[in-house]
Amino acid sequence: MTLRQRIVPYLLLLPALVLLLVFNLLPTIATLVESTFVISLRSGERVFAGFANFERIFNDPIFWKSLQVTVVFSLVVNPLQIALSLGLSMLMNQRLPGIGIFRSIYLLPVAVSLNVTAIVWRLLLDKNTGMVNGILHQLGIERQPFLHSPEQALWSIILIASWIGVPLWSLFILAGLQNIPPPVLEAAKIDGANAWQSFTRVTLPLLRRVLAFVLVADTVANFLLFAPILLTTQGGPQLSTNLILYETYRRGFLYGDLGASAAMLSVMLLFVFVIVGVELYVLRGSD
Amino acid sequence: MTAVGRVSLRENILQRGRNRERGRLLVFNHTVLLLMTAFAIAPLLVLAFNSFKSNSEIGSNPLGPPGSLILDNYERAWDQGNFAITMRNSVIYVVVTIAAELVLGGLAAYALARKRPPGSDLLMLYFLVASTIPVWMYIVPLFVQFRTLKLLGTMHGLIIIYVAGNAPLTIFLLRSYMIDLPRELEDAARVDGANEFQVLTRIVLPLTKPGFLTVGLVVGLGVWNEFTLALTFIHDPNFAPVTTSFFKFTDRFARDWALTSAGAVIIIFPVMVLFLALQRQFIEGLAEGGIKT
């Protein structure tokens, strides 16, 4: 190989790498560094503080409460979205009359921006004038406070996130389903497999890589949910929807405590690494 | 002969059973389909209905179709939301980001898929991890950096953030499209005397077009709908995209639902038409490349 041939690939990679280094990797490292600094009250200067910020957040009940909300949210929203996406994708992948129209409408929310979604659902869930309460009222059920109640707000957020999330992940699962050659499923049917058997023994194993991708991407996306919180509840009522990324925003931007905010982000980064590590492990297993 | 006859009889009995079963399944399937599509479209329908009503009509009839079509809301929303300018800005953000992203990502993906220089595996690992890290993780240092580089509040500054933020996923997806291309085509072109640049532009690019379309659509949808970064990095309303101008607009006219609905429809409509038109290619593109079973 000539020198030129050896250099060409790096030249092709260079623009992307420079951009990522300057605007992605360096700022991420800066966040990690920032987590070890505090602003001195006496001089107003940034001083190195070791793990003081981490100690501070680990002793802070609001941080733990926020983590707890995030865990509860994740444990509900991820299985819910994935189960619904999978089931509905399989339904949408069948040859039924009018399925093309159903599929187009079902996937429509993917094209709607998150802030429009959040604003529209805030109106729909309004206690007095919202559509949802209008329907409940028609059915003889009492009007619900939804986003204004500490008990119901998180569930309302789950509803809003899933309105986009379920069709979004369905896109990927539908693409995966289209890659399963129909003869494979027909062969299973001829061999006497019932619908459940052909689902668990043929479809699921063939979808494993797609599902692993969707599982991890969905988990990370929901772990880092932010805009709908900012636009609807702002973490309230009573911090019941104070998901972890919103808490870092509250701490850093609203209270100006950048050290604690960076410490929380560093902890979250660790979580993301663990999730991606699991993804790599699962993907490797299926190759 | 008898064997064939027996099989077809058995088939026949099975078929009749299957038809009954299929009939029941059809009813069940369509019920679920109707419920799900209703859940998907109801909010959008209410929004569209309300955008044609006056506020007093929304008060008396918050859900149903409008009594008469009032286009006044659209006119007011268009003016108040500064949409003439912000719509243009959003188109610039989307088009320039997609173009830069595909060039940058295409070159990098080609190098990784075909040349495999030493360190490729490490780079892929980095891209995979980086694609999951949202900008919120490092927004404060980025903000400081932008101030130093005088990029704060500029359109090209925001485009740089979008391109960098989407680059890992773009490279990852485009690489998986390119890696599947038969190498023989490229070798044949080289034998015929094509140089590296010609191989890339005449052979690889045309064959990976579905991949570029899919990635372009993913990136474009993301940028059109992006909101929090634009809110943080752009303060001059003349440079704002539709999403932030809509956000400020709903803040100002929180009680004016007719106006807000019209504004929302203005934002949603263009992307929805595009998405509907390209949906099939989009899913096929995903199936062909990035999403492997």
- Report pLDDT digits (tens) over A129-148: 777 887 888 888 888 888 88
In a 3-state reduction of DSSP, which class is residue B181?
coil
Q: What rounded mean pLDDT belongs to chain B?
A: 84
By C-alpha distance, which of A14, A6, A18 is closest to B117? A6
Alpha-carbon span A177 to A200, nearest angstrom: 14
Taking contacts as CB-CB distances below 8 angstroms, the residues of chain B near A15 are 104, 107-108
CA B148 to chain centre: 32
B51 and B189 together in one domain: no
Q: How many CB pairs under 8 A join A and B?
A: 240
B94 and B56 together in one domain: no
Name residues 132-191 of chain A within 8 A of B (Cβ): 134, 163, 167, 171-172, 174-176, 178-180
**Phi/psi-derived region of residue B119, left when phi > 0, alpha when psi is between -120 and 50, beta in every other case:** left
* Binary contact (B293, A176; C-beta < 8 A): yes
Give the residue numbers spanning the domain of B50. 2-60
Interface test with A, best of B225, B260, B265, B278 (most A CBs within 10 A): B225
> Is residue B132 within 8 Å of residue A272, measured between CB atoms?
yes
More confident residue, A98 or B164: B164
* In a domain? residue B282: yes
Q: Does B277 touch chain A (CB under 8 A)?
A: no
Give per-residue pLDDT as tens, A15-69: 999 999 999 889 989 888 888 888 776 777 777 878 888 988 899 999 999 999 9
Q: What is the pLDDT of residue A287?
A: 43
**Phi/psi-derived region of residue B3, left when phi > 0, alpha when psi is between -120 and 50, beta in every other case:** alpha
B240 and B149 together in one domain: yes
| CA distances for A177 relative to A50, A105, A184, A287, B291, angstroms | 50, 19, 12, 18, 10
What ipTM, to 2 d.p.? 0.82
Q: What is the pLDDT of residue B92?
A: 96
Q: Does B45 touch chain A (CB under 8 A)?
A: no
* In a domain? residue B69: no
Alpha-carbon span B150 to B157, nearest angstrom: 9
Taking contacts as CB-CB distances below 8 angstroms, the residues of chain A near B271 are 111-113
Helix (H) or strand (E) holding A46: strand A46-48
Q: Does B122 touch chain A (CB under 8 A)?
A: no
CB environment B48-78: b (16+ within 10 A), e (fewer): bbbbbbeeebbeeebbeebeeebeebbebbe
By C-alpha distance, which of A132, A163, A168, A166 is closest to A147? A132
- Within A35-98, residue ranges assigned H as helices are 52-58, 61-92
Q: Does A269 touch chain B (CB under 8 A)?
A: yes
* Nearest residue, CB atoms, B246 vs list A115, A227, A273: A115
Beta bridge partners of A37: A48
B90 and B49 together in one domain: no
Q: Does A2 touch chain B (CB under 8 A)?
A: no
* In a domain? residue B72: no
Interface test with A, best of B7, B47, B133, B284 (most A CBs within 10 A): B133
B143 and B192 together in one domain: yes
Would the pLDDT of B292 be above 60? no
Q: Is the dihedral of CA B70, B75, B78, B80 positive or negative?
A: negative
* Binary contact (A30, B272; C-beta < 8 A): no
For helices B257-288 and B83-110, what crossing angle results, to 10°?
A: 20
Query: Phi and psi dihedrals of B171, rounded to 5?
Result: -60, -45
CB atoms within 10 A of CB A1: 5
* In a domain? residue B76: no
* Nearest residue, CB atoms, A226 vs list B43, B228, B246: B228
* Nearest residue, CB atoms, B130 vs list A20, A113, A208: A20
Interface test with A, best of B86, B140, B148, B221 (most A CBs within 10 A): B140
Q: Which residues contact B40 (CB under 8 A, 6 or more apart)?
A: A105, A106, A107, A108, A109, A163, A167
By C-alpha distance, which of A13, A14, A11, A9 is closest to B117? A9
Long-range contacts of B31-35 (CB under 8 A, 24+ apart): B32/A88, B32/A91, B33/A91, B33/A92, B33/A96, B33/A99, B33/A102, B33/A106
* In a domain? residue B96: yes
Query: Where does a domain end: B11, B30, B60?
Result: B60
Name residues 20-39 of chain A within 8 A of B (Cβ): 20, 22-28, 30-31, 34
Beta bridge partners of A46: A39
Q: Which residues contact B253 (CB under 8 A, 6 or more apart)?
A: B80, B259, B260
Residue B217: closest CA among chain A residues belongs to which residue?
A: A111
Q: Position B13: which residue type?
A: I
**Domains annotated on chain A, with CATH:** 62-286 (1.10.3720.10)
Give per-residue pLDDT as tens, A148-204: 888 899 999 999 999 999 998 998 898 888 888 888 888 888 888 788 888 888 888
By C-alpha distance, which of B85, B33, B197 is closest to A104? B33
Cis status, amide bond into B62, omega within 30 of 0: no
By the 10 Å C-beta count (0-12 exposed, 13-18 middle, 19+ buried), B243 is classed as: buried
Q: Which residues contact B83 (CB under 8 A, 6 or more apart)?
A: B77, B242, B245, B263, B266
B152 and B26 together in one domain: no
- Name the pLDDT band for A72 (thresholds 50, 70, 90): very high
B43 and B95 together in one domain: no
Q: Does B274 touch chain A (CB under 8 A)?
A: yes
Q: Does B111 touch chain A (CB under 8 A)?
A: yes
Q: What's the structural domain count of chain B?
A: 2
* In a domain? residue B230: yes
CA A193 to chain centre: 36
Name residues 196-235 of chain B within 8 A of A (Cβ): 196, 221, 224-225, 227-228
B22 and B98 together in one domain: no
Residues listed for chain A: 287
* Binary contact (A131, B63; C-beta < 8 A): yes
Alpha-carbon span A193 to B9, nearest angstrom: 20
B56 and B139 together in one domain: no
* In a domain? residue B68: no
Alpha-carbon span B22 to B28, nearest angstrom: 10
Give per-residue pLDDT as tens, B173-211: 888 888 877 788 888 888 888 887 888 888 888 888 888
Q: Mean pLDDT, to the nearest integer, of B210-226? A: 87
* Nearest residue, CB atoms, A111 vs list B108, B133, B221: B221
Q: Mean pLDDT, to the nearest integer, of B45-55? A: 87
* In a domain? residue B71: no
* Binary contact (B275, A110; C-beta < 8 A): yes
B143 and B252 together in one domain: yes
Q: What is the pLDDT of residue B43?
A: 87
* Binary contact (A31, B29; C-beta < 8 A): no
For a pLDDT cut of 90, what percent of chain B falls above it?
A: 20
Q: What CATH number is given to the structural domain containing B130?
A: 1.10.3720.10
